Amino acid sequence: MEAAAVAVPLSGADGAWWRELLAPYTRPSVARSAGDVLTSVVPYLGLSVGMYFLLGVSYWLVLALSIPTAGFLLRTFVLFHDCAHGSFLPSRRGNNWLGTFCGLLVYSTFLPWRHEHAIHHATAGDLDRRGMGDVDTWTVAEFRSHSLPMRVGYRLFRNPLVMFGLGPIWALIIQPRFPMAWMRPRLRRAVYATNIALAVAVGGVCWAIGWKDYLLVQGPTAWLAGSAGVFLFYVQHQFEDVYWKHSDSWTYPEAALQGSSYLDLPRVLHFFTGNIGYHHLHHLQARIPNYNLPRAHEEHPQFQDVPTLSLWDGINASRLKLYDEEHGRLITWRELRTARF
């Protein structure tokens, strides 16, 4: 992993230098956005139908086709995500309607997700405001102060088999079905409305093709897309020299450019992940549509001097478990056991 200090002012009087610099990239293009829909939602739905017809031929073919189908579902989630930021279409109403529709495809409720994700952007990297829209991360001191059952639970949660295996089922299918305690009545009603709409849609499909065939087709696709999504969300803020500060020293641009990674992926993976690997820029200016992120990154060298991870770096980052405040980095269980920290 390459990680270097950003070579431009990040706070103080020049703290908003990036707003004017990135303003040209925040203008959505209806044509580009329509192209995104045609290369995400449409192929996802088409391939899902094709998988159903292949059930009578070979389930191995169905499983093989579930891989690209999951890629298009992941890409659909990025459209949902952009709509939540109001960056995908020029109109607020258009973003809301398209985001709500895409939310049904990814089993999520648009309004509560938009609210929670906005809090994540406002608090990422702040040690005093953890817990909303981020991966639960303890400090070394917190881990040592908790009871044994809580430590065991945390270790299980941070196990890659749980996080990337069971995590997608919880995050994608189960947890969004229940309103959270912090939700206002409007957001609670949105959860109930989404659940009803999903029950009608999924029930209708199951009535038409049978619930077993529905699960055989949708199960692998949803799990693969969810697992990839959890992995992406993890590595975007979980790497060795990640930025974590207490509120009194935390700044928004530093958290974006030092606490969010640039995941340098092959071009085809940037396509299926909707350029979300340019996460440093996305956190700095969330109003940039996904298709404008690569150009903003390439045209300004100061945005290339940020924590950069390869795909292999991201996989290795799953070994990191706790944040050590004294040394300012994430550490592994082995490092904790050897009492280096």
Helix crossing, 59-84 with 30-38: angle to 10°?
160
Domains in the chain, number: 1
What Å distances lie between residue 41 and 52, 76, 195, 252, CA to CA? 17, 6, 20, 33
Largest CA distance in the chain: 66
- Stretch 24-29: mean pLDDT: 95
> Considering the chain, what is the average pLDDT of its residues?
91
Cβ burial 307-322 (10 Å sphere, 16+ → b, else e):
bbbeeebbebbbebbb
pLDDT digits over 295-326, tens only? 999 999 888 889 999 999 999 999 999 999 98
- Stretch 17-23: mean pLDDT: 86
**Residue 24 clears pLDDT 90, i.e. is over it:** yes
Identify whether 189 is part of a domain: yes
pLDDT digits over 181-197, tens only? 889 999 999 999 999 99
pLDDT bin (cut points 50, 70, 90) of residue 15 is low
List the beta strands (DSSP E) in 39-140: 138-139
**Residue 7 clears pLDDT 60, i.e. is over it:** no
Dist. CA 39–CA 274, nearest whole Å = 10
pLDDT digits over 219-234, tens only? 999 999 999 999 998 9
For the chain, the C-alpha Rg in angstroms (whole number) is 20
The pLDDT assigned to 339 comes to 60
pLDDT digits over 42-100, tens only? 999 999 999 999 999 999 999 999 999 999 999 999 999 999 999 999 999 999 999 99
Q: Which long-range contacts (CB under 8 A, 24 or more apart) does 4-7 make?
A: 4/305, 4/306, 5/258, 5/305, 6/254, 6/257, 6/258, 6/302, 6/305, 6/306, 7/302, 7/305
The pLDDT assigned to 311 comes to 93
The pLDDT assigned to 11 comes to 42
Q: In degrees rounded to 5, what are phi and psi of residue 88?
A: -85, -40
Identify whether 28 is part of a domain: yes
Domain range for 26 is: 18-337
The pLDDT assigned to 5 comes to 34
Q: Which residues pair with 255 in a beta bridge?
A: none
Identify whether 228 is part of a domain: yes
Length of the chain as a residue count: 341
Helix crossing, 185-209 with 110-123: angle to 10°?
130
pLDDT digits over 129-177, tens only? 987 778 889 999 999 999 999 999 999 999 999 999 998 999 889 999 9
Identify whether 277 is part of a domain: yes
pLDDT bin (cut points 50, 70, 90) of residue 340 is low
Identify whether 137 is part of a domain: yes
The pLDDT assigned to 304 comes to 85
- Stretch 284-302: mean pLDDT: 94
Identify whether 316 is part of a domain: yes
Identify whether 8 is part of a domain: no
Identify whether 10 is part of a domain: no
Q: In degrees rounded to 5, what are phi and psi of residue 54?
A: -80, -10
pLDDT digits over 87-138, tens only? 999 999 999 999 999 999 999 999 999 999 999 999 999 999 987 778 889 9
pLDDT digits over 240-283, tens only? 999 999 999 999 999 999 999 999 999 999 999 999 999 999 99
> What percent of the chain is predicted at pLDDT more than 90?
82
